[in-house]
Structure 1
Amino acid sequence: MMIVDAIKAANSLVNIVPILGRSQSRKDYEEGVKLVEYLVEHDPDNPLIDMLCHKIDEYENSAPEFRVFNARLNQCDDAIAVLRTLMDQYQLNTTDFKEELGSRSYVSRILNGERNLTLEHIKKLSVRFNLPVSIFIK
Structure 2
Amino acid sequence: MEIRPIRTQTDYQEALQEIELLFNAAPNTPESDRLDVLSTLVEAYEKAHFPIEIPDPIEAIQYYIDTRGWSRRDLESCIGSRARVSEILSRKRSLTLEMIRKLNQELGIPAEILIQPYQSIQTPA
Name the CA distance, whole Å, in 1 between partners of 2:109 and 2:42: 21
How high is the sequence identity, in percent, across the aligned residues?
A: 26
Q: In the superposition, relative to structure 1, how do residues 82 and 49 fare at CA in structure 2: closer, same or farther (>3 Å)?
A: farther
Q: Report the CA distance shift for 1:82/1:14 in structure 2 as closer, same or farther (over 3 A).
A: same
1:117 equivalenced with 2:95 (yes/no): yes
Please name the residue that 1:14 is paired with: 16
Deviation, 1:136, is: 0.7
2: CA distance between counterparts of 1:121 and 1:113?
14
Distance 1:81 1:113 in 2: 10
Distance 1:119 1:49 in 2: 38
Q: Which has the higher contact order (CA 8 A, sep 6+)?
A: 2
**C-alpha distance in 2 between matches for 1:124 and 1:47:** 36
Report what 1:97 is aligned to: 75
2:3 aligned partner, one-letter code: A
Unaligned runs of 5+ in 2: 5-10, 21-38, 117-125
Q: What is the root-mean-square deviation in Å for CA atoms of aligned residues?
A: 3.8
Shift of 1:119: 0.4
Write the mapping of 1:47-66 to structure 2, written as runs, cut at 5 A: 47=40, 50-51=43-44, 54=47, 57=50
Give the paired residue count.
93
**Distance change (3 Å), C-alpha of 1:95 and 1:57:** farther
Q: Which has the larger radius of gyration?
A: 2
Matching residue of 1:5 = 2
Structure-1-length-normalised TM-score: 0.50
CA offsets, 1:42-83, max 9 Å, x none? xxxx6377358649946x89xxxxxxxxxxx7xxxx221211
Q: 1:89 to 1:56 in 2, by over 3 A?
A: farther
Letter paired with 1:96 = D
Residue 82 and residue 53 in structure 1: after superposition, are their counterparts in 2 closer, same or farther (change >3 A)?
A: farther
In terms of fraction of residues, the more helix-rich structure is: 1
**Change beyond 3 A, Cα 1:84–1:131:** closer
